[in-house]
Amino acid sequence: MLSKQTKEAFLGPLNANNPVLVQILGICSALAVTVQLKPALVMGISVTIIVALSNVVISLIRKSIPMRIRIIVQLVVVAALVTIVSEVLKAFAYDVAMQLSVYIGLIITNCILMGRLEAFAMTNNVKDSLMDGLGNGLGYAMILVIVAFVRELLGSGKLLGFQVIPQWCYDHGYSNCGMMLMPAMALILVGCVIWAHRSINEEKK
């Protein structure tokens, strides 16, 4: 059903061309919102929706955008979408929106977005652009979820806010690792994921 190129546009960013692991984009927000799993999930979904939709919009109007002001046009589209998502979150998931605070607004400046719009949507058709946006958004969300999973589990003993490490462990001397709550540890975890990713992909070659 899907052509090879479309498939590649979707699957590439999930693994071989992952925006976080290979292009090292969007690291800043990956460090900031991954203390707990829930905000990381919401952030990942928001970015996926925004990248996919803005890719579609830019791809639709790509032939009529004057080259000189294309960055401004792209920013306007992204800003509009970010505002919508931000308002929706505030209406239906107020707690999470407060936890994410400025980082939802800062999606506008997320390098993955501008990168995809410039590098892909400006030159490709609508269907491919949609798949590319979904792939990149999910590739980003995937890393966020992995990092947040480890950080919330080891840092506060919870997952999605539920206590998963039993009280029994704490009674026998286990304690949460406060280092996991610090941004430094998120950086090290992203480094570990990149390490694993590279060594797996190198073996394939």
Partner 1 sequence: MEKFYNLWKKFGKNFEQGGKLENLSSFYDAFDTFLFTPNTTAKKTGSQIHDGSDSKRTMILVVLALVPCALFGMFNVGYQHLLATGQLAAGITACLWWKALGFGILAVLPLYLVSYIVGLGIEFIVAQMKHEEVAEGYLVTGFILPLILPINTPLWQVAIATAFAVIFAKEVFGGTGYNIFNVALIARAFLFFAYPSSMTGDSVFVRIGSTWGWDGAQAVDGFSGATTLTQLSTGIAAQTDCASIWASINGLMPGCVGETCVWAILLGAILLIATGVASWKVMVSIIATAGITAYLFNAFGPDTAIAHFPWYMQLLNGGLLFGAVFMATDPVTSARTECGKWIYGVLIGFIVIVVRVLNPGFPEGMMLAILLGNAFAPLIDWCVIRKNIKKRLKRA
Binding mask of the shown chain, residues 128 to 167, with x at each position contacting partner 1 by CB under 8 A: ----------------------------------------
And the tokens for 161? 């806010």
Tokens 């501008």 sit at which residue?
Answer: 114
Could you give phi then psi for residue 188, rounded to 5 degrees? -65, -40
Question: Rule CB under 8 A: is residue 180 a binding residue for partner 1?
Answer: yes
Question: Rule CB under 8 A: is residue 179 a binding residue for partner 1?
Answer: yes
CB 179, min distance to partner 1, A: 4
Question: Rule CB under 8 A: is residue 177 a binding residue for partner 1?
Answer: yes
CB 185, min distance to partner 1, A: 9
Question: Rule CB under 8 A: is residue 173 a binding residue for partner 1?
Answer: yes
Q: In sequence order, what are the residues at sequence separation of 6 or more whose Cβ sits closer than 8 angstroms to the Cβ of residue 139? A: 13, 14, 15, 18, 19, 20, 21
Kindly identify the residues of this chain, within the stretch 3-42, that bind partner 1 according to CB under 8 A: none
Element (H, E) at 48: helix 37-60
Comparing CB distances to partner 1, the nearer of 64 and 175 is: 175
Question: Rule CB under 8 A: is residue 79 a binding residue for partner 1?
Answer: no
Nearest partner of 47 among 98, 124, 127, 111, judged by Cα: 111
The angle that helices 37-60 and 126-156 make with each other, rounded to 10 degrees, is 170
CB 191, min distance to partner 1, A: 8
CA distance 141 to 137: 6
Question: Rule CB under 8 A: is residue 60 a binding residue for partner 1?
Answer: no
**Residues within the interface to partner 1 (CB under 8 A):** 173-175, 177-180, 182, 188
